[in-house]
Structure 1
Amino acid sequence: MCHAFLPTLKGPAQRWLVSLPPGSIRSFKDLADRFMSHYAANIRLQKDLTHLGDIHQDEGESLKTYLARWQKEIQAIEGVEDQNALTFFIESLRSEKLYNDLWDNRPAM
């Protein structure tokens, strides 16, 4: 399996594997552990629903600009239900009038 792994890599990852001292890898588990520890910093963590609580409309940011940013952020989260997303969105707005209007007249999903 170690030999089959090499052709799946490209560029720096392939060069890293080839540069390992001969005999330093004794099993595929050993290779996997060394690979993960070497490249762990490059792993992008999956965002979850709680990430939405950290997103807020910036002062002076237009609703149009904020909505575009919100949509980009929400696409990075899998399995978000519309009602949950809407609740987080309403809570993140700066405009008190818009916030109150959306809260009192929640759009139907």
Structure 2
Amino acid sequence: MAIYSKNEALMCKIFPSNLEPIAMRWFDGLRVESINSFHELTQAFDSRFVTCRRVPKSVASLLSLHMQEGENLKTYSNRYWEMFNEVEGDFDEVAINTFKLGLSSEHGLRKSLTGKPVTNMRQLMDRIDKYKRVEEDQQQRKGKDKVVP
């Protein structure tokens, strides 16, 4: 479309080629001659589909995350990374600290991160993976220890 950006009529004709079915139904439902320029078309589109935009989360969202009682590390880290991926910007140091603070004070990973801090996200993820494997091994051993009558 960038090639044809000076030709508004052509831009309006090309516009629907990138639309998904719901947006295409909206486009097909526009009244004839209700749009007079490509700018008007994009404004109408933005107005109609503004609710479909993902609003980036703030760093403060990470501060609200905490490991729930009885929650395992895998579930907590999955929730954390989901939220982290919605935060815009480069906040590695904040992410490392908020992840650690979200763990219960008795969790082995929190103690490990306090005693031997990580300096980047890769190190944090490696340490999390190590502790997730430990938890999974413990869960498997508990399952084997149960005696079925």
TM-score (norm 2): 0.61
Moved more, 71-80 or 37-46: 71-80
Matches of 2:114 and 2:17, distance apart in 1: 58
**Which residues of 2 match residues 70-109 of structure 1 at below 5 A?**
70-93=80-103, 95-98=104-107, 101-102=111-112, 104-109=114-119
- Mapped pair 1:2 → 2:31: no
In structure 2, the residue matched to 1:14 is 24
Higher relative contact order (Cα pairs below 8 Å, separated by 6+ residues): 1
Aligned partner of residue 50 in structure 1, secondary structure: helix
Q: Which residue of 1 aligns with 2:65?
A: 55
Distance 2:110 2:40 in 1: 57
Q: Which is further off, 43-52 or 10-19?
A: 43-52
- Tell me, yes or no, if the aligned pair for 2:59 and 2:87 is still in contact at 8 Å: yes
For structure 2, the 5+ residue unaligned runs are 1-10, 120-149
Check whether the contact 1:90–1:102 (CA below 8 A) recurs between aligned residues: no
Count of residues in correspondence between the two structures: 108
Whole-Å Cα distance in 2 between the matches of residues 67 and 26 of structure 1? Answer: 50
| 1:103 Cα deviation from its structure 2 partner | 6.1
Q: CA RMSD in A?
A: 2.3
Bigger Cα Rg: 2
1:46 is aligned to 2:56: yes
Q: Distance in 2 between matches of 1:88 and 1:100?
A: 11
Structure 1 gaps of 5+ residues are none
What CA deviation, in whole Å up to 9, does each residue of 1:20-75 have, x standing for no partner? 11110011111111111111111111234222112111122122321232233323
- The range that moved more, 35-44 or 97-106, is 97-106
SS of alignment partner, residue 76 of structure 1: coil
